Amino acid sequence: MKLFVLRLGHRISRDHRISTHCGLVARALGADGIVYSGDHDQSVLESVSRVSEQWGGKFEAKYEKSWKKAVNAYKKKGYTVVHLTMYGMPVQKTIAKVKRKNKLLVVVGGEKVPWEMYDLADFNVSVTSQPHSEIAALALFLDRVFGGKELDRKFVKAKKVVVPQARGKKIIGK
Amino acid sequence: MKLFVLRLGHRISRDHRISTHCGLVARALGADGIVYSGDHDQSVLESVSRVSEQWGGKFEAKYEKSWKKAVNAYKKKGYTVVHLTMYGMPVQKTIAKVKRKNKLLVVVGGEKVPWEMYDLADFNVSVTSQPHSEIAALALFLDRVFGGKELDRKFVKAKKVVVPQARGKKIIGK
């Protein structure tokens, strides 16, 4: 499966950490890349790219000013658009249908999601109907899509690799 | 099961959103409460409490200056301490053991986790060995502990309830 994430409406400085977390979670949990829309923020792109460089894998972080242009471009390439929102249909009820697709664009919102996004999405999907975090919603959604297998994923060409320990820290590489 | 979350080393203003997301995720995904250590930040406690008040459920957000005091207090009450860290043992390999416990304190770090935390924990658990987000790690861990059942959880005495929709937003209440 090909899977990209689109982060809507990034705002410079205010959203730096949340948007960076979205990118790192997308990478760690098996997405192929993330597209940021909203403000152009080189520092977020660099934070995410730096992690990819050190920790391996093929993950793209890119910018597209217009979220709508990004959505339509992916649609044209045959991607199914899943918009994560607390107002959508429960993930546990929609995941079977979504998993059958082989190209997904997963959209995660910022503070204000434009009304049109709900219409452009093929699926509006909720991870609980409670207010919480786009980072957590993205993590649980990816875990459901990949059926937990993303946790065993290897990252090619990693300069740094953690060796899991019951106590303490062990990193191979530099 | 009783389950509390401890957020280490909160820093005022810088961590506001990340720490708030940790609290909201803890609540939405079935924890009984969150304890913040580090800086005392009334606005984070209020953000989380305000959501609980409107959206229901019994969730406590509280503050304890010393993370070590908090950990030891929970230990004394018979809680098993699980520290989420990218350096720990994979969640998919540890979850069976952890699930057998009936009282859990789940510790999520900030920027610098004191070395002692690794020793005080009964389990150091990783959600992938990649750098990503304590919010995502917490979400996936809670989902594994509760076996996905947390997604169907009802929140008692909610003033606001979302009615899931394929398109658009529907909220009952005010």
DSSP structure class, residue B99: H
Q: Are B139 and B25 in contact (CB under 8 A)?
A: yes
Chain B CB contacts of A55 under 8 Å are: 130-131
Residue B30 contacts A where some CB pair is shorter than 8 Å:
no
Q: How far is CA A5 from CA A36, A47, A100, B71, in A?
A: 9, 16, 18, 37
Chain B CB contacts of A171 under 8 Å are: 87
What is the CB neighbour count within 10 angstroms for residue B22?
A: 32
Residue B170 contacts A where some CB pair is shorter than 8 Å:
yes
Number of C-alpha atoms within 13 angstroms, CB side, residue B129?
24
Chain B CB contacts of A169 under 8 Å are: 87, 118
Tokens of A89: 């249909």
Residue B91 contacts A where some CB pair is shorter than 8 Å:
yes
pLDDT average, residue stretch A139-156: 97
| pLDDT score of B13 | 84
Chain A CB contacts of B135 under 8 Å are: 21, 133, 135-136, 139
DSSP A55-91: H-S--EEEE-S-HHHHHHHHHHTTPEEEEEEEEEEEH
Tell me which residues of chain B have a pLDDT lower than 50. Answer: none
Instruction: For A86-139, write each residue's pLDDT tens digit.
Output: 999 999 999 999 999 999 999 999 778 999 999 999 999 999 999 999 999 999
Instruction: For A20-78, write each residue's pLDDT tens digit.
Output: 999 999 999 999 999 999 999 999 999 999 999 999 999 999 999 999 999 999 999 99
Q: Are A132 and A107 in contact (CB under 8 A)?
A: no
Q: Is the pTM of this model over 0.95?
A: yes
Q: Is A174's pLDDT higher than 80?
A: no
C-alpha closest to that of A145 among A7, A31, A16: A31
CA–CA dist B36, B45 (Å, integer): 8
Single-letter amino acid, residue B59: F
CA–CA dist A48, A62 (Å, integer): 10
Q: How far is CA B75 from CA A124, B3, B66, B81, B104, in A?
A: 42, 12, 14, 7, 9
Residue A151 contacts B where some CB pair is shorter than 8 Å:
yes
C-alpha closest to that of B158 among B59, B31, B58, B54: B54
CA–CA dist A169, A117 (Å, integer): 43
Q: Are B58 and B156 in contact (CB under 8 A)?
A: yes
Q: How far is CA B147 from CA A30, B139, B140, in A?
A: 21, 12, 10
CA–CA dist A163, A133 (Å, integer): 29
The answer to whether B128 contacts A170, with C-beta atoms less than 8 Å apart, is: no
